[in-house]
Amino acid sequence: MSGVDLDEKAVCGTCIGNKFLSQKISASETTDVACDYCGRNAPTLGLDEIAQIFDHEFQDNYQVADNILREDHGYPSLGDELQEIIQQEVEPASHALSDDLFEIVWAIWERDAYDGQAPEADALFIKTGVADHWLHRRWHDMQESLRTRTRFVNPDALEVLQMVFDKVDKDVTASGEPLIVEVGPGHELGTLFRARVFQNDDALEKALEDPDAQLGPLRVLAVRDA
């Protein structure tokens, strides 16, 4: 690295592979500052501005990957490190440019406490929705297995349910209260009532016309629907 402060470095559109960023740089009115990475006299933007654009898009589209469930059950971790994401999204023409962008973005996170706190140095990130998609896929596979294979002693169902509910008895709410509450005689909450939501008056009137079928226990409803 040169002795130039990162905040003072400039980059041209040729050194950035990302089409949007490259075009934005090429439209810059700054034409009297040479690119610090290729030396060309061309329109340039400050590297700090590119880093800020990247950070804004990153926070809208990426999240820290929570791999605890995957690791506990022997699945490989999801996600990429920040340096890899910079390579994929910005497509810098050199390792020096990639390293400089990484340093500026990381400094922004430490300064602004990204997402409430700065990520760990070895944090992995995934695109928003990827983690949910993976779990939904596993849940769907479990449902198909229960429908088409066996309902009793089903290893696929057991694995998914253990993954989702493992250690749930030790989880607590944001206020520190237990996630599981015991209900019944002798407990603080002695009675539990089942409620049903109706989306409109017509549905409510129909249920009241046949309460045994519409408002009965879950088992009655399940048998009726079958």
- Model pLDDT, residue 220: 45
Measured over all CA atoms, what is the biggest interatomic distance in the chain, rounded to whole angstroms? 82
Are the CB atoms for 52 and 109 separated by under 8 Å? no
Report the C-alpha gap between 178 and 174 in whole angstroms: 10
For the entire predicted model, the pTM comes to 0.56
Q: Which are the contacts of 146, defined by CB distance < 8 A and separation ≥ 6?
A: 154, 156, 157
Cα–Cα distance for residue pair 28/51, rounded to 1 Å: 16
Q: Please state, in angstroms and rounded to a whole number, the distance separating the CA atoms of residues 167 and 158.
A: 14
Q: What pLDDT, on the 0 to 100 scale, is given for residue 53?
A: 93
Please report the pLDDT score of residue 106 as a whole number. Answer: 92
> According to the model, what pLDDT value does residue 206 have?
86
Reduced to 3 DSSP states, what percent helix, strand and coil does the chain have, rounded to the nearest 5?
50, 10, 40
User: Residue 130: what pLDDT?
Assistant: 57
pLDDT given for residue 131 in this prediction? 54
Segments in the chain below pLDDT 70: 1-4, 67-74, 113-118, 129-135, 216-226
